[in-house]
Amino acid sequence: MLRIRGTGKLATGAGSEDWRWHNGRSRGYDEIHVSHGQKWRQGGQDVDRRSLDMAEITIYQKPTCSTCRQAVQLLKDSGKPFTTVNYYEKPFTKAQLKNLLKKAGLSPKDILRTKEDIYKELGLGNKELSEDKWLDVLVTHPDLIQRPIVEKGEKVILARPAESLKRIL
């Protein structure tokens, strides 16, 4: 799969299929170009442009969660390829969760499930913790993580309600 890195913007030309990735320099367009067809050019190679439209979608979920099941069904119905990760079987690392939250513009407290028994047992309602400590708590106790979390490229959302994931499809 082709991945676009760096900053820039897509610019359109006169034709509906004339797209260029602009790198922000005054010299013009240098990374990707397509002209009236299904092939993109990058570094002298033709690339199927559909691969550019399909950033990989990953849904971090708990299969027994009804909201997660609804989100998975919406993804299936969309016809877009996606990967599911049961974060109970493949737990988040602290760095991974921190990165997902950064992409989503959320803090650890924003995804905290405050109605869980473990939240009350640990007395978390009365604790003032640093972001780093909250991440430790969430990684140690995945039941406290709101779900599902959906990642598509550089975008991440907390898909609650499940229909909210349509924003990134």
List residues with catalytic annotation.
65
The pair of three-digit structure tokens given for residue 77, joined into one six-digit string: 């119905």
Instruction: Tell which phi-psi region holds residue 64, choosing left (phi > 0), alpha (psi between -120 and 50) or beta.
Output: alpha
Three-state SS annotation for 82-141: EEEEECCCCCCCHHHHHHHHHHHCCCHHHHECCCCHHHHHCCHHHCCCCHHHHHHHHHHC
Q: Which helix (H) or strand (E) holds 66?
A: helix 66-78
